[in-house]
Amino acid sequence: MKKYNQLNLHQRYQIQALLETEISKSEIAKILLVVPCTIYRELSRNIAKRSRTAGKYVASNAQRRADTRHKNKAKQIMFTKPLKERIAGLLRYEKWSPELNSKRLELDDEACLGHEKIYRWIWDVKKSNKKTDLKFYKLYKNLRHGSRRQKMVLGIFYKNTELEVIINNKV
């Protein structure tokens, strides 16, 4: 996998200065030692569309926008042991579904964890033989449909009986 570096504020000021001297975008890329598509992408993302700087590239605004995009992008959440225990407790004692668990965690600002990831974890624990997962082994019994797991075909969930009907109709 190829490594890349993001543009920093100094490079953005260079882009701004070079654009004001009307140097082509491909020449700017050669001067900054980056791929030309990096410059095109930078300009398409960060040229103001309205306000007094409309149609112009302003380096400080571009840096602020890049920082905002980085701060707001989705981050991978570590599925830690305390988080697993909290989810298990909500499943066992509160009898909440994984959907309700994910919404509750989101409201409490603990973790923004999707219900599908919780389901996947529950079924992975059921299949695994790890000692660390033994106390979560019977969590699948606390699900609304117990031990019945829906199959996924082409990104759509079907119950086993519906899947058999679909398969029989295709034959």
pLDDT per position as a tens digit, 10-31? 999 999 999 999 999 999 999 9
- Which carries the bigger pLDDT value, residue 4 or residue 160? 4
Phi and psi, residue 9, nearest 5°: -65, -40
Residue 96 sits in the same domain as residue 113: yes
Share of the chain above pLDDT 90, in %: 29
| Average pLDDT across the chain, whole number | 81
Residue 93 sits in the same domain as residue 134: yes
Could you tell me the two tokens for 72?
């707001």
Residue 66 sits in the same domain as residue 96: no
Residue 15 sits in the same domain as residue 42: yes
- Kindly state whether residue 3 falls inside one of the protein's structural domains: no
Could you tell me the two tokens for 92?
């066992």
**How far, in Å, CA of 31 to CA of 17, rounded?**
12
Residue 50 sits in the same domain as residue 110: no
Residue 101 sits in the same domain as residue 150: yes
- Kindly state whether residue 4 falls inside one of the protein's structural domains: no
- Which carries the bigger pLDDT value, residue 153 or residue 37? 37
Residue 67 sits in the same domain as residue 21: yes
Residue 98 sits in the same domain as residue 63: no
- Domain end: 18, 39, 72, which one? 72
- Kindly state whether residue 86 falls inside one of the protein's structural domains: yes
Residue 127 sits in the same domain as residue 63: no
Q: Are 90 and 96 in contact (CB under 8 A)?
A: yes
Residue 91 sits in the same domain as residue 64: no
Give the least confident one: 30-39, 93-102, 155-164. 155-164
Rounded to 5°, angle at Cα 85 from 155 and 76: 50
Residue-range definition of the domain harbouring residue 121: 81-170
Could you tell me the two tokens for 149?
């797991």
β partners of residue 57:
47
- Kindly state whether residue 51 falls inside one of the protein's structural domains: yes
Q: Which residue has the tokens 């700017």?
A: 28
Which residues are CB-neighbours of 37 under 8 A, at least 6 positions away? none
| pTM as predicted | 0.50
Residue 67 sits in the same domain as residue 88: no
- Kindly state whether residue 112 falls inside one of the protein's structural domains: yes
**How far, in Å, CA of 13 to CA of 20, rounded?**
11
Task: Give me the mean pLDDT over the 70-74 stretch.
Answer: 81
- Kindly state whether residue 1 falls inside one of the protein's structural domains: no
Domain count, the chain: 2
